[in-house]
A and B are shown apart, each in its own frame.
Chain A
Amino acid sequence: MPIIKVENLSKIFGRKPQEAIGLLEEGYSKEDILEKTGNTVGVNRATFDVEEGEVFVIMGLSGSGKSTLVRLLNRLIEPTEGSVLIDDQDLATMDKEGLRKVRREKMSMVFQNFGLFPYRTVLENTVYGLEIQGMDKEKSKEKAIQALELVGLGGYIEQYPSQLSGGMQQRVGLARALANDPEVLLMDEAFSALDPLIRKGMQDELLDLQERMQKTIIFITHDLDEALRIGDRIALMKDGSIVQIGTPEEILVNPANDYVEKFVEDVDRSKVLTAENIMKRPETVSIEKHGPRVALERMREEGLSSIYVTDKQRNLKGYVTADDASDARKNDVKDLSQILKNDVPTVNLDTSMTEIFDIIQDTAVPVAVVEDGKLRGVIVRGAVIAALAGSEVNIDVG
């Protein structure tokens, strides 16, 4: 069930927002509208649902409207048009009192530069959200300490933010957001100000926390690697519009348009990594020794729907599918060559990830990595995604 439903949400910055909205609906672009009315389109009719317990990533380059969009969700910026339904209440039209209630109880936010109050200790910062609700001092302190322990800062409660490293400061930001036990966590470029190593650690930690807490997280980032690592679904933004929403795999494999494709191509690893880095040791059967029965057995063991066939010298001959092998066994066919298929997608050891993408999209079987006609490894679709997302890559394949 979606916890947040965003419909047709727009934000126009400038003097004549209604006029600009009209033009948007007529299909004018952001540039045209700026030229005609002097208004800037911040967010252009965004529509999406966020499911309970998912990590929903909104990704885009700077100026794409992602930070504006997340601020429309808790109305730090007033929407020009559209609705944000949370638990069937429309945030966009709610009165101030109701809005405060939602902000206090249902949504918390984590900020890019941490947004910590420098004159308050770690504990006093964490307790802020509870304090303004008028919660009893002892109880709120207890809750804040719990939240701090959750992020591993139990021992730092009396320190001031300036005494902590960036990573630790952001943990305080996270603890502050978790302390009022919100349903939805808005994270605006939460890790972007951290250096890369710390950032990766924080991403892992967030995923760990998420496993335990099962919050709904809306995460803003300009970093595709980050989006792929932590996102259950990703919304890509450009010029204030959402251009594609999908799982990481959908985005990578089926980019909705040139823009997404460019974004995907920009992933550093796709240029650096080659087939050799991400291939796995192939499961094979021998055309001389094995028949359909063995092939079927191997596939069953390994959980595959097809298997590659080689000769003694490991020269690639083709592949057989489980369906064909099963039919062959029924019909008592002994020889694999009769059911062998030859439309094998092959790449070389040094083929780049970008090219592998194009190939892997159109094929149902794993891509074969071949050197001088010999099968060296296979690449499954998941490995490409995983590699792009920065997981461990497989370099020890022989």
Chain B
Amino acid sequence: MLDNIPTLPVAEIVDTITDWIEETFSFIFDPIKDDFGPFLDDLSGDYLAAIPPWIVILIVAVLAFFVSGKKFGLAIFSIIGLWFIQNQGQWEQLMYTFVLVIAASIIAIIIGVPIGILMSKSKTLQSILTPILDFMQTMPAFVYLIPTVAFFSIGMPPGVFAALIFATPPTIRLTNLGIRQVPNELIEASEAFGSTPMQKLIKVELPMAKKTIMAGINQTVMLTLSMVVIASMIGAPGLGREVMRALQRADVGSGFVAGIGIVILAIIIDRFTQYLNKQKGE
């Protein structure tokens, strides 16, 4: 009986919408494609990769030492880990991956935190956004790689974009949650002394929600890293591409080496963001 109902033209509708978006917003996509992409490529390939690895390793180790509260653990790990990557000839790939992750994370934070704040202020917005965020996180990443290529062609920008869709939700969610969890009495205290909404946000809500927001940002960074391999399918350079290449050639050894590189980068970034979250008042 169900066979009598004609197939709904969902795929066609999505195609039409995608085409429309591509044409209508080409004034946004084109500069991203033409300027932002080469910028990221230059940044990774020409500038960062041009710095001698030992200097980078040294800087990271010193930062790690201070960020972790003058302990040697993270610093030593960074030195060994980064040296290993360099030793395996993956240094340039590491730079591409690092730039991809950082670019996507920064954009995710810039977009995510304000949306999270707005969401915490409005019940309506929260109920509209929650399913959208669920959708963004559960939709298989490969699916939105397709239109992404249509919008941005191949390379870094679609990689960043795909990572954004997947990785922004935690920052939005946890910013929203963090602000909603500020004890009511503190909100009242701030209002009772005559704070403007902006003062309340900056002096009370954000400091109180800081930990939760930072946890969200940490999640976001980790999720962008997890997108690195997938993004390489649409031409994003870096360690992910090495993994992909190894997969195509059934080259277990180099796949493992590139994978270890990603893990090392993930651990270093994760510890850095966690330590940043722990400072002061503890």
A119 with B194, Cβ < 8 A, contacts A109-B188, A109-B189, A111-B188 known: no
A108 with B193, Cβ < 8 A, contacts A132-B199, A160-B281 known: yes
Kindly identify, within residues 154 to 191 of chain B, every residue whose CB is under 8 Å from any CB belonging to chain A. Answer: 183, 185-186, 188-191
Question: Are A119's CB and B193's CB within 8 A?
Answer: no
Chain A interface: which size bin? Answer: 20 to 34
Question: Are B192's CB and A76's CB within 8 A?
Answer: yes
Interface residue A137 (Cβ < 8 Å from any Cβ of B): no
Q: Looking at the assembled complex, report how far the CB atom of B260 sits from the nearest CB atom of chain A, in whole angstroms.
A: 39
A128 with B203, Cβ < 8 A, contacts A113-B185, A115-B186 known: yes
Q: Interface size of B by Cβ–Cβ distance < 8 Å? A: 20
A104 with B281, Cβ < 8 A, contacts A115-B185, A119-B207, A119-B208 known: no
Question: Are A76's CB and B193's CB within 8 A?
Answer: no
Interface residue B195 (Cβ < 8 Å from any Cβ of A): yes
Question: Are A100's CB and B196's CB within 8 A?
Answer: yes
Interface residue A74 (Cβ < 8 Å from any Cβ of B): yes
In the assembly, what is the distance between CA of A314 and CA of B88, in Å?
111
- Our pick among A107, A115, A119, A160 for the contact of B189 (Cβ within 8 Å) is A115
Q: Which A-chain residue is minimally distant from B199 (CB atoms)?
A: A132
In the assembly, what is the distance between CA of A115 and CA of B185, in Å?
5
Interface residue B201 (Cβ < 8 Å from any Cβ of A): no
Interface residue B204 (Cβ < 8 Å from any Cβ of A): yes
Q: Looking at the assembled complex, report how far the CB atom of A158 sits from the nearest CB atom of chain B, in whole angstroms.
A: 13
In the assembly, what is the distance between CA of A109 and CA of B194, in Å?
11
Q: Which of B194, B280, B281 has the most CB of A within 10 A?
A: B194
In the assembly, what is the distance between CA of A131 and CA of B186, in Å?
16
In the assembly, what is the distance between CA of A35 and CA of B192, in Å?
34
Kindly identify, within residues 87 to 140 of chain A, every residue whose CB is under 8 Å from any CB belonging to chain B. Answer: 99-105, 107-109, 111-119, 128-129, 131-133
Residues of the A chain whose Cβ atoms lie less than 8 Å from the Cβ of B281:
118-119, 160
Question: Are A117's CB and B192's CB within 8 A?
Answer: no
- Our pick among B190, B194, B208, B210 for the contact of A133 (Cβ within 8 Å) is B194
Kindly identify, within residues 5 to 61 of chain B, every residue whose CB is under 8 Å from any CB belonging to chain A. Answer: none
In the assembly, what is the distance between CA of A252 and CA of B192, in Å?
34
Residues of the B chain whose Cβ atoms lie less than 8 Å from the Cβ of A128:
189-190, 193, 203
Question: Are A101's CB and B207's CB within 8 A?
Answer: no
Interface residue A170 (Cβ < 8 Å from any Cβ of B): no
In the assembly, what is the distance between CA of A3 and CA of B207, in Å?
37
Fill in one digit per residue for B202-214: 1 if any A CB lies within 8 Å of its CB, else 0. Answer: 0110011010000
Question: Are A103's CB and B192's CB within 8 A?
Answer: yes
In the assembly, what is the distance between CA of A102 and CA of B196, in Å?
13
Interface residue A169 (Cβ < 8 Å from any Cβ of B): no
Question: Are B194's CB and A76's CB within 8 A?
Answer: no
In the assembly, what is the distance between CA of A83 and CA of B175, in Å?
38
Q: Looking at the assembled complex, report how far the CB atom of B196 sits from the nearest CB atom of chain A, in whole angstroms.
A: 7
Q: Looking at the assembled complex, report how far the CB atom of B186 sits from the nearest CB atom of chain A, in whole angstroms.
A: 6
In the assembly, what is the distance between CA of A109 and CA of B190, in Å?
10
Q: Which of A100, A101, A180 has the most CB of B within 10 A?
A: A100
Q: Looking at the assembled complex, report how far the CB atom of A188 sits from the nearest CB atom of chain B, in whole angstroms.
A: 9
Residues of the A chain whose Cβ atoms lie less than 8 Å from the Cβ of B204:
117
A103 with B194, Cβ < 8 A, contacts A117-B207, A119-B207, A128-B203 known: yes
In the assembly, what is the distance between CA of A107 and CA of B192, in Å?
8
A103 with B191, Cβ < 8 A, contacts A117-B204, A119-B207 known: yes
A109 with B195, Cβ < 8 A, contacts A115-B185, A115-B186, A160-B281 known: no
Binding site for B on A (CB under 8 A): 71, 74, 76, 99-105, 107-109, 111-119, 128-129, 131-133, 160, 176, 180, 186
Binding site for A on B (CB under 8 A): 183, 185-186, 188-196, 199, 203-204, 207-208, 210, 280-281
Please list the 4 inter-chain residue pairs (A to B) with the smallest Cβ-Cβ separation, ordered nearest first.
Answer: A104-B194, A115-B189, A103-B194, A109-B192
